[in-house]
Structure 1
Amino acid sequence: MSSAASFYSGFVAIIGAPNAGKSTLMNRLIGEKIAITSKKPQTTRNRILGIVHRPFSQLAFVDTPGVHRTSKILNRRIVDAALAATTDADLVLWLMDVSRSAEEENSLILEHLQSCSKPVILALNKIDLIARPELLTWMELWHGRFPFREIVPISAVSGEQVEVLVEVLEKYLPEGPPLFPEDSLTDKSVGFIVSELIREKVLRRTGEEIPYSIAVTIESFKGEGEGEKAEIHAAIHVDRESQKGILIGKGGSRLKEIGTDARRDIEALMGKKVFLKLFVRVQKNWTRDAKAMERFGY
């Protein structure tokens, strides 16, 4: 940055393989949970914006779905959206998980970035899970594979070196006024974040039984503004009848657990008591139906 009087702002696209820790980093950066996380690949389906306000800069981070090779229509749309984010951004942050090899996914990203004219910063994530010699090997390997502006080792979970990463990114922002109001953290509505929190709890509570065949829609939302309590009715859509029973559980036990988990996070998000009612609906083969995917926001 050339002078303390200048202000810098821009969009930073976070890209990486599934489970690289992009959503965890986003939540760490803005200090609020707006991006859902789980151990399942492709947990993130939409581009989510998180805004970081600094004394002389504003960074608008775009959390993107994990990049991977796929033949499924829904997943192809998701990956296309992730890669397209690099075109719209002012700079690209490639987040790489150093605790595991993701060579196929990383090669796909590398191939895409060959034509990228934006500054690309590499963040080597999960350094808390490997030894220093292994980290140095990663740094040497990737230094030779692409002309990154800088390579920064971090841990999104512990926060180690995350401040250093932000300072590095600041250096490459274009000069310009703030892009968003001072009090804004995301461009997503509360309703969108609520639906994502419910989907996260489904993913966490259903193991491998209901992998990616769910979508969540908010049917009604009362008390979003001021007031002591909010009332939310939401539908969880599955694409096969057999999944409905699995999701509801014996005597409704699993759906109740999902609702309890989700309500806890929604109350933390909204800062008030929440009454949450969940329904399960079958939308046959929606993950292969273009119109249904569009209706669910994909």
Structure 2
Amino acid sequence: MKSGFVNIFGRPNAGKSTLLNALVGEKMAIVSPRVQTTRHRIKAFLNKPGEYQIIFSDTPGIIDPKYKLHERMMSSVKSALEDADLALLMVDANDDFLECDKIFSSLRLKVPAILVLNKIDKAANGKIAEAEAFFAGKAYCKQLVKISALQKIHLQKLLDVIMTAIPEGMPFYNEDDLSDLPTKFFVGEMVREKIYELFGDEIPYHTAVMVNEFKEKESLVKIQVDIIVQRESQKAIIIGEKGKMIRQVGTLARTDIEAFIGQKVFLELFVKVRPKWRDNEMQLNEYGYQ
């Protein structure tokens, strides 16, 4: 039996969340074309009873913190560095390799690492060969695997490489579980994902989501969620004219939540203004950014 922690690191929008979802075969992390979508460390388990349990961790994209929220996000990256058995260093094939190298060199990895070159299906001419040449001499790059997480290209090859690096051991978690996070967390993330989908500019980055109520009744699950913004003008945008936008958020989120928990859902959304919440320690704790 093999069991170990495989933690995914990289710049924002490298495709870490897409890879996590593709490897475990479930939508565990929300996905958006926007950078900095992931704010928490999300663990998801790939189980084959009697053979292996791989605990994958999606981590926030590595950035220079501008707010206390960013500091909390980078703290979750640090914790993922400390318990990893194997690091996946993820690079967008069209990204700036020098910037990626700067980040990976600063991680001071103490565990084996695999460099995962993602989005090879969209790589510009010569970029794949350029990446192979660039990363070949780097101390942290013991092996390079080329994939497309979105198109599921070479994922089995990546898994085979991962399996060779995972230590022997018993499962850390129940083999029927998909994550160590509660259902409430994923419900909040599904609401937040719809805000990324429906609103442009700065709105998603100024928004937090808090699930206040999750009650399982006989025929449905009653869920009440607060959407937190920083300004009254942002609240007006999220509500929309005659409530049009908030209804759209609710309709799209409810569809995903019902598919996720396998039950009918009554979803109630409220929008609340909390100025400068991204720099408020108490509010960050309240909204789950520990």
Moved beyond 6 Å, runs of 4+: none
Partner residue, 1:292: 283
> In structure 2, do the counterparts of structure 1 residues 45 and 12 end up closer, same or farther at CA, with 3 Å as the change threshold?
same
Matched letter for residue 108 of structure 1: I
Q: Work out whether 1:267 is the aligned partner of 2:258.
A: yes
* Equivalent residue for 2:225, pick from 227, 230, 234: 234
Gaps of 5+ in 2: none
Which of 21, 32, 36 lines up with 1:42 in the alignment? 36
Partner of 1:91: 86
2: CA distance, partners of 1:30 / 1:135: 26
Residues 112-158 of structure 1: CA deviation (Å, up to 9, x unaligned): 2xx32201111100011025742122112111123423110011001
Q: Given the alignment, which residue of 136, 142, 152 partners 2:145?
A: 152
Q: Is the 8 A contact 1:222 1:231 kept in 2?
A: yes
Match for 1:75: what amino acid? H
Secondary structure of residue in 1 paired with 2:235: helix
Q: How many positions carry a matched residue from both structures?
A: 288
Asked if 1:64 corresponds to 2:59, the answer is yes
Task: Tell me the residue number matched to 2:236.
Answer: 245
Q: Write the deviation string for residues 216-264 of structure 1: whole angstroms up to 9, x where unpaired.
A: 111211218xx54211111101111221101111111111111111011
Change (3 A) 1:205 1:106: farther
Query: How many percent identity over aligned positions?
Result: 40
Question: Following the alignment from structure 1 to structure 2, what is the Cα–Cα distance between the partners of residues 105 and 69?
Answer: 13
Query: Are the equivalent residues in 2 in contact too, given 1:67–1:83 (CA < 8 A)?
Result: no
- Equivalent pair of 1:67/1:109 in contact (CA under 8 Å): no
Q: Given the two structures, how large is their TM-score scaled by the length of structure 1? A: 0.92
Distance 1:111 1:193 in 2: 31
Residue 79 (structure 1) aligned with residue 74 (structure 2): yes
Q: CA deviation at 1:268?
A: 0.8
2:24 is aligned with 1:16: no
User: Structure 1 residues 143 and 198 mapped into 2: Cα distance closer, same or farther (>3 Å)?
Assistant: same
The answer to whether the 8 A contact 2:196-2:204 is kept is: yes
What's the secondary structure of 1:11's corresponding residue?
strand
- Residue 180 of structure 2: SS of its match in structure 1? coil
Kept in 2: contact 1:65–1:79 (CA 8 A): yes
What SS does the corresponding residue of 2:192 show, helix, strand or coil?
helix
| Secondary structure of the corresponding residue to residue 231 of structure 1 | strand
- CA gap of 1:102–1:287, structure 2 versus 1, over 3 A, is farther
SS in 1 for 2:128: helix
**Equivalent residue number for residue 187 of structure 1:** 180
Q: Which runs of 5+ in 1 are unaligned?
A: 1-6
Name the residue aligned to 2:271. 280
TM-fit CA distance, 1:201? 0.5
Q: CA RMSD in A?
A: 1.6
Residue 169 (structure 1) aligns with: 162
CA displacement, residues 179-228 of structure 1 (integer Å, 9 cap, x when unaligned): 1122111111111000001011011111114031111111211218xx54
Contact 1:17–1:102 under 8 Å retained in 2: no
Distance 1:31 1:228, change over 3 A: farther
TM-score where L is the length of structure 2:
0.94
Amino acid paired to 2:206: S
Corresponding residue for 1:3?
Answer: none
Are the structure 2 counterparts of residues 98 and 83 from structure 1 closer, same or farther at C-alpha, using a change threshold of 3 Å?
Answer: farther
Work out whether residues 67 and 105 of structure 1, in 8 Å CA contact, stay in contact via their aligned partners in 2: no
CA contact (8 A) 1:209 1:246 kept: no
Letter in 1 for 2:76: A
CA contact (8 A) 2:7 2:88 kept: yes
Task: Specify the code of the residue in structure 2 equivalent to 1:269.
Answer: F
CA distance in 1, matches of 2:51, 2:125: 34
Q: CA deviation at 1:295?
A: 1.3
Q: Against the structure 1 CA distance between its residues 64 and 147, is the aligned structure 2 distance closer, same or farther, given a 3 Å change threshold?
A: closer
